[in-house]
Structure 1
C-alpha cells in the first residue's frame, strides 16, 4: 500500500514537471517563430526601402542629366553660338553652369577642330575644364562630330587627374540642300563644334548621397553598362572594371562569386534588390538602370546594411535568452512545486501513520479495559448470586424455628 502511494507521488512529480517544461518549450518555440517573422519583416522592409531609394535616385539623376541636356540644346541653338559671338556665349555658358552648379563643374565650347573657344566662369583656371585647349581626341568631341548625336560619357580622366563624366551635344548649322550631306528632312547639317558639360564624379556622388533620406543608412555606387565603376565610396576604384584585379582584390573570397553574380545581373538593364551576408551581417544591394534617351547607360546601386534588422536581431536574441531563462525558471518552479507536493504528501502520510499508531494503541487499551470490565462484571454476577443464596438460606433458617411458635 505504502509502495503504491509512493509510486503515485513519483508519477505526479513527473507529470507536473513535464507539464511545466512542455508549456515553457511551447512558449519558447512560439517566441522564436515570432522573432523570426519579425526579422523577416524587418529585412523585407530594408529591401523594399532600398529599391524605392534606388528608383527615386535614378529618377533624380535622370532629371538632372535631362536638365543639363536641355541647357546644352538651348546653348547649341542660341545665336551667340551660331554666330560665333564669344563674349555672349561665355555669359550663356556661365548662366547654364549656375543653373546646374550642384552637379556640373563647367560648360565649355569647342570649335569644329576640338579647340576650346570659351567656357563658363572664365575667371577660373583652365584646369577646371581639363587643363588643355586641344580636346579633339576626346570621345565627347569625336562622337558628336562623327554621328551628330548627343554623347553621354563614362568616366574620363582629365589632365588634372580629376575623374569626370561628360555630356556633349554637337553644334549643327542647318543649311540648304547641296552644301553638305543631307539629313532625313532634306536639310544638310554642318558640324560647327561641340558644347560640353563636365560633371565631377565626386560631386555627383555627394549629390546622390545627399538625396538619400538621413535615416536610411546606405552607400551609393554608379557603373556604366559595361561594368566600369563611375562612382564608389573608394575613389581609387573609379574608372576600374568591376572584374578587374583592383576591385576584385577588395571583395572577400567568401562572397566573391555571389557578389560578382549580383553585379553581373545588375548590368542587364533590370531593377532588383538582392541580399548578401558576410561575417554575420546582411546587406541589401539594390540596383536600378538609368535610362538616357530610352537607352540603358548607367546602373545606380544602393548598398544598405541591415541596421534595422540587426537591431531587431539584438532584440530577438534578447527575447530568446529571456525565453530560455523562462524555460529554466518554469521548469525549476514545476519541479519545485512537484517536490513540495511530494513532501506534503510524505508529511501527511507520516502524520496519518502516526495517528493510526496512536489509535491502534488506544484501541488496544480499550480492548484490555473491556476485558477487565467483563471480568469484573462476571465477579459481580457471582457475588450477587452468592448474596441471593445467602439471603434465601438465612430466610429459611429463620422461618423454620418460628413456624412451631406461630403454629
Structure 2
C-alpha cells in the first residue's frame, strides 16, 4: 500500500501533506482508465529526433486545454497531416504527475475528424437542439423597428464589421453601435463570443445584438455551430440577429437566432429602416391623406349643394303654403262639424224639453186640476183614503190650500199661498 492509501482522513489537527494530496489525486485519476476524447488541436510540438509528440488539446466551447503525449508512430499512422486547429478524436489515459502536480493525457490512438464526420456531428446536434425547442418559431422575437443602440459581435477590422456599420449608417445616420471585437475562428472563438454575448445582453441600452462574420469554409464556420454558443443565444433576453457568411452558409446559429440575415449587408438592412425610403413613404402617405380629405370635402360640398337645390329648401314657403291650406280646410271642416253637432243637440234638447213639459204634473195643475195630499204627504186618490176631520193639503197651480176632510164633501178652512 502507498502512503496515500494508508493515511487516515485529514483533520485540522492532522492535515495531509502536499505529497499525500498529490498521491491521492493521482490514484483517483488512475482509476478513470482509458477514455475517448474529442477536441481541437491548439498546438503540435515535434522535437527533431524525439519519438514523443506533444499536443495541446483544446475544448472549442471553453477556455480549457490539456497536454497530450503520444508516440510519433501513433500520430503518423492515425493523423499524419495533422495541423493546428484540426478536430481530433483520440483514445487516451489521464495521468497525473504527483511530483509536478500536472495532468496530461497519454494517447495510443489518434483520429483526425474529416469533413464528412463533422457534418454528421452537426446534423446530430441540429436534431438534438430542434427536439429541445431551440428552433421554435413561436419563441423568436421581432427586433424593434428603430433600435436606439445595436450590439455588434464580429472580428476586428473585418469586412463584416465594415459592411454592417457602413450600410446601417447609410440607411439611418443616427444609429448607435456598441462593437465588441472577438476571434471568429480558431480555438478561442467560442469563449470570446460567449463573453461578448453576455456583456451585450447585460447592457440595458442594447436593443438588438448582431453576430456577424464573412464567408468561409465549413471548418472556418464551425464556431457558429457550437452547442454552447447556440444555447447562450437561446437564453439571451435581447433579440439576436445572425449574419454569418454568404447566403448559402447555414450554421446552427442561424436556426437559433431570432432573425437570420443572409449576409452582414442584409443584417444592416434588417436592423434599421432606410431614412430616405421612410421619408418617401411618409410623403406618399401625406399625399394620399390630403387627396382623401379633399375628396371627402368635395363629396360633402356636392351633397350639400344637391340638398340646397331641392324645392323644400330652395322655396320652403311652397311647402308651408300647402300645409297652411290643409290646416285651413281641416279647421273649416272642424267648425262645420261642431256647428252641426251643436244644432242637432239644441233641437234634440228642445224636443226633450217639450215632451217633459207635456208630461209634467205642473202642466196638469195649470189646467185647473189639484193634487190632494194627507198629512203624511201621500196623494189621496179616493175618499176612503182619509177620515172625516183629517187635515189635507191641496196643491194648485197658484199655490197650496189647507183643508179638512168632512163627511160627504171637503170643506176648505183656510187658504195659504205657497
Which is richer in helix?
1
Q: Do these two structures clear the TM 0.5 threshold for a shared fold by scoring above it?
A: no
TM-score (norm 1): 0.26
Larger Rg, first or second structure (1 or 2): 2
TM-score (norm 2): 0.26
